[in-house]
Amino acid sequence: MSLKLQVTHAEIIGAALKAVRQGLDAWLVTIVEITGSLPRPLGSMMVHSELATLGSVSGGCVEECLIERLQLGEFPAGTARLTKYGVDADDNERYGLPCGGKLTLLVEALGARDESWLQELRATLLARHFVERAIKLEPYHCSLSTTSMLNSPAVDWQQTCGMHRLGPEHRLVLIGAGQLAETLSALALQMEYQIIVLDPRQDKVDGWRGSDVSVHVLIGIDQLAAYADSHTSLITLTHDRDIDDNALFAAADLPYAFIGALGSRRTSANRSSRLRARGLSEEALARIHAPVGIDIGSKTPMEIAVSILAQLTQLKRGAMSQSGQVCRSVA
């Protein structure tokens, strides 16, 4: 059995689907209620089967206890039940939960009859669309429908039934496969971003020594359109004028959530002049955040990475607050 925490919703559902197709016991676990401060946000998921355990709903003792209960047959196939952790001070201490933290988990024991909706859900998530799962406990039933997610929490739960809303994870496209991209991707993974690194230089791609993320040769600027959506940010990091300029010129007219460019204020001003001369509109230029990152006087790759992710976090939290969304899991 393998354990992997930083995974996408589609990977979690895919693991459940694989187990079901092989006739194996599989359990999908979702956080449906939270009280106090806890390690994982509402809507976080985990799947457990003989093949793999993916995702996380708390970490540490809670998951160890839950997996033991699953293996002992406490949640039989074809059922869905709620289980609670942190019901009192002793429970919190036993499972390593923060003082006052309470956690309600939905445990769905999956079987062959669930294959259809698991397949549909995985395909929807891979297409980076929003989707709602309507779940009923007695008798257990799950159905899917589309949703805009606006002004909606990740989970609405009412005793014996509820709604679980899922959408695209936040994704980060980095132009340039150098040291800064290696540092930034490692830190961004810890913040549960999906990472894609693109660089037209084959030697840079071949020399990648960073985290296990998607690293590809940037063959044509048209590739950038494939990643552009309202949950994806793009940042240029190469210090190569042609590479950065070409990527920014293309990205500025694409529906990225955020576009940033590394460089000093002078470099950024000169770049804007070049892009303006190439015909990029003032509206498109205004979308490019340069220099990228919050000004904390950063010098080292790690400091620069921290400043960039601080800016992305600030914008992400601000957008959630304005739309009324509750912070959701991205894994």
pLDDT of residue 96: 66
Both 24 and 153 in a single domain?
A: yes
Both 234 and 156 in a single domain?
A: no
- 287: domain CATH number? 3.40.50.720
Residue 155: which domain range? 2-166
Question: Residue 242: how many CB atoms within 10 A of its CB?
Answer: 9
Both 139 and 217 in a single domain?
A: no
- Its pTM stands at 0.80
* Domain tally, the chain: 2
The last residue of a domain, from among 144, 166, 188: 166
pLDDT of residue 40: 85
Residue 19 falls inside a structural domain: yes
Of the candidates 106, 16, 81, 99, the residue with the CA atom closest to the CA atom of residue 54? 16
What string of pLDDT tens digits covers the 331 residues of the chain?
444 446 899 999 999 999 999 999 999 999 999 988 788 889 999 999 999 999 999 876 888 899 999 999 999 999 999 999 886 666 666 666 666 678 999 999 999 999 999 999 999 999 999 999 999 999 999 999 987 765 678 999 999 999 999 988 899 999 999 999 999 999 999 888 999 999 999 999 999 999 989 999 999 888 999 999 999 999 999 999 999 999 999 999 999 999 999 999 999 999 999 999 999 999 999 999 999 999 999 999 999 999 999 999 998 877 544 433 333 322 2
pLDDT of residue 278: 96
Both 211 and 274 in a single domain?
A: yes
Give the phi and the psi of residue 222 in degrees, each rounded to 5.
-60, -25
pLDDT of residue 179: 95
The last residue of a domain, from among 120, 144, 166: 166
Both 222 and 155 in a single domain?
A: no
Both 180 and 302 in a single domain?
A: yes
Separation in Å, CA 123 to CA 7, 60, 178, 196, 229: 16, 31, 33, 20, 17
Both 14 and 159 in a single domain?
A: yes
Residue 276 falls inside a structural domain: yes
Both 180 and 40 in a single domain?
A: no
Residue 331 falls inside a structural domain: no
The last residue of a domain, from among 141, 166, 191: 166
Both 24 and 94 in a single domain?
A: yes
Q: Using CA atoms, how far apart are residues 279 and 179, in angstroms rounded to an integer?
A: 32
Both 120 and 175 in a single domain?
A: no
Residue 158 falls inside a structural domain: yes
Both 134 and 259 in a single domain?
A: no
